[in-house]
């Protein structure tokens, strides 16, 4: 599975990449904000996006809406992985097309479970 | 005359800090007695700061001595870190971001927006209070060493 991992924190990208590797996902491309994500998605072939919310240049929710508005990318599942924990934020993301939502802080097992549920 | 942050406003940040260390660093931390920053003799080597805006404004800061920061970041990323490099700065900023974001759910009535994290480094730097409110400090002890949560919070409503 080709995965795009979007987070402005190199630490969070490293933690999530390690989790992905542990569950067998090694084809991971990193992006550091929404603009970078949209640019990298244009190359095609991605099957899953893990998206942070608060990022410079273009936030995760803005990027999610762009992904879902583009016929070329609208079918790619997007899991939001963010410290934004309020119900209104979660609802906004789900209504904007997010396939799932992981709230930081999370345990690696939680992220792995959400990814597995997407694969099924 | 500035007044201290209300305890009801600091508790969500205190709980979020405990949960963040438990979930992401697999570390149990213990809060000490909450103190006013005015009376505290505090100095740090690295601080992560998040600004709050919206229905409340202020800042949330996690401040660490160097050794504690290195141990905490090593647990956070799962790799041993021995120098105060960009990895440590990014990780301390992200830890602060997670604490602030997590606390928001218990302060939903204020419709708070959080800024991107800023990180300050410098041996024995000090975190000072503002003119309108006296920040409260929660000293934490942990197997990784001691550190402090500092919250400045003013309700706009």
Domains and CATH numbers, chain A: 3-119 (3.40.50.2300)
- What residues of chain A lie within 8 A of the CB of B86, using their CB? 10
Min CA distance, A28 vs chain B (Å)?
18
Instruction: Give the percent of chain B with pLDDT over 70.
Output: 92
With CA atoms as reference, the chain B residue closest to A17 would be B77
- Is the pLDDT score of B1 beyond 60? no
- Is the pLDDT score of A103 beyond 80? yes
DSSP B33: -
ipTM for the complex shown: 0.85
Mean pLDDT over residues B4-19, rounded? Answer: 89
Computed over every residue of chain B, the mean pLDDT equals 89
- Is the pLDDT score of B117 beyond 60? yes
Mean pLDDT over residues A66-80, rounded? Answer: 97
**Interchain CB contact of A106 with B (< 8 Å):** yes
With CA atoms as reference, the chain B residue closest to A102 would be B102
With CA atoms as reference, the chain A residue closest to B109 would be A86
Query: What are the tens digits of pLDDT across the range A14-68?
Result: 999 998 998 899 999 999 999 999 999 999 999 999 999 999 999 999 999 999 9
Domains and CATH numbers, chain B: 3-155 (3.40.1550.10)
Computed over every residue of chain A, the mean pLDDT equals 94
d(CA B52, CA A113): 32
Q: Tell me which residue of B129, B12, B26 sits closest to B76, measured CA to CA.
A: B26
User: How many whole angstroms from its chain centre is CA A55?
Assistant: 12
- At a CB cut-off of 8 Å and minimum separation 6, what does B67 contact? B145
Identify the pLDDT of residue B155: 82
| Helix orientation angle between A34-41 and A60-69, rounded to the nearest 10 degrees | 30
d(CA B67, CA B152): 25
Contact (CB, 8 A) for A77 and A48:
yes
- Is the pLDDT score of B40 beyond 70? no
Beta bridge partners of A30: A5
pLDDT band for B4, please (50, 70, 90 cuts): low
The pair of three-digit structure tokens given for residue B154, joined into one six-digit string = 């003013």
SS3 per-residue string spanning chain A:
CCEEEECCCHHHHHHHHHHHHHCCCCCEEEECCHHHHHHHHCCCCCCEEEECCCCCCCCHHHHHHHHHHCCCCCCCCEEEEECCCCHHHHHHHHHCCCCEEEECCCCHHHHHHHHHHHHC
pLDDT band for B97, please (50, 70, 90 cuts): very high
* Touching B: A residues 45-64, CB under 8 Å: 54-56
- Mutation pick from A85, A87, A101 vs chain B, by most beta carbons of B within 10 Å, is A85
d(CA A84, CA B103): 9
Beta strands in B32-117 (DSSP E): 35-36, 44-54, 56-64, 112-114
Identify the pLDDT of residue B130: 65
Identify the pLDDT of residue B148: 95
pLDDT band for B116, please (50, 70, 90 cuts): very high
Identify the pLDDT of residue B7: 79
Identify the pLDDT of residue B13: 96
- What residues of chain A lie within 8 A of the CB of B93, using their CB? 9
Beta strands in B15-146 (DSSP E): 30-31, 35-36, 44-54, 56-64, 112-114, 118-125, 133-134, 136-141
Identify the pLDDT of residue B132: 74
Nearest to A105 among B90, B102, B116 (CB): B102
Mean pLDDT over residues A72-97, rounded? Answer: 95
With CA atoms as reference, the chain B residue closest to A107 would be B23
């Amino acid at each position: 599975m080709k995965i795009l991992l979007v987070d402005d924190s190199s630490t969070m990208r490293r933690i999530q990449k390690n989790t992905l590797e542990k569950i067998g996902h090694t084809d991971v491309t990193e992006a550091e904000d929404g603009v970078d994500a949209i640019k990298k998605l244009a190359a095609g072939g991605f099957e899953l996006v893990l998206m942070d919310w608060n990022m410079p240049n273009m936030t995760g929710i803005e990027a999610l809406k762009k992904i879902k508005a583009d016929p070329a990318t609208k079918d790619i599942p997007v899991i939001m992985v963010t410290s934004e924990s309020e119900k209104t934020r979660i609802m906004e993301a789900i209504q904007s097309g997010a396939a799932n939502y992981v709230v930081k802080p999370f345990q690696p097992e939680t992220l792995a479970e959400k990814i597995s549920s997407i694969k099924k | 005359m500035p007044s201290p942050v209300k305890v009801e406003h600091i508790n969500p940040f205190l709980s979020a800090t405990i949960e963040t260390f438990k979930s992401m660093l697999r570390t149990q931390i213990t809060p000490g007695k909450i103190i006013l920053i005015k009376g505290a003799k505090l100095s740090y080597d690295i601080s992560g700061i998040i600004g709050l805006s919206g229905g409340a404004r202020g800042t949330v800061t996690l401040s660490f001595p160097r050794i504690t920061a290195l141990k905490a970041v090593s647990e956070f990323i799962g790799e041993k870190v021995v120098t105060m490099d960009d990895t440590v700065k990014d990780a301390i900023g992200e830890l602060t971001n997670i604490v602030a974001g997590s606390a928001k759910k218990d302060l939903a009535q204020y419709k708070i927006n959080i800024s991107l994290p800023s990180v300050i480094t410098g041996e024995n730097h000090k975190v000072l209070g503002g003119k309108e409110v006296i920040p409260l400090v929660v000293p934490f002890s942990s197997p990784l060493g001691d550190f402090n949560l500092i919250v400045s919070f003013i309700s706009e409503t």
